[in-house]
Amino acid sequence: MKLFLLVLAFGLLCILLFPTDWHMALAVGWIPTLLVELLLARRRLSVVKQHVQNHQFLAVMVFGFLGRLSLLFIGAILGAKSGLYSQELFMAAALAAIFAGEAISLPQIAKATRHRRSALTAPDDSNPPS
């Protein structure tokens, strides 16, 4: 979680490097998308750590994808209809946030999955072979 907040702050500081008329679109694309990535990463980790069945993990993945897709779609439509920000810049910032969020969360999920696999394949001392 700390890494997500660090990336969020770094992204907000980087927005200042762009022209001022881009700030609104970049901020609206970056902040909500990275927060959704944070929530999704926490949910994925909790599902992996709970040792649930594969279809439950896949459901989290599918609904997470659909949620991110909905966020992109709604944000682009709002930007186009309201004229407050450029939908192209919104999409670019949102996609950058998705890539950053996945780059942070996937290694954490892989690590948790490795621990889960090692726990499943560890020899059980309670039933010695006869």
Please indicate, yes or no, whether the overall pTM of this predicted structure exceeds 0.75: yes
Each residue's pLDDT tens digit, 69-121:
999 999 999 999 999 999 999 999 999 999 998 888 888 888 887 766 665 55
- pLDDT tens by residue, 29-76: 999 999 999 999 888 888 888 877 778 888 888 998 999 999 999 999
Query: Could you state, in order of their start, the residue ranges of all structural domains in the chain?
Result: 2-7+21-118
CA distances, 107 to each of 21, 42, 74, 103 (Å): 35, 13, 29, 7
**Token pair of 35, please?**
């927060």
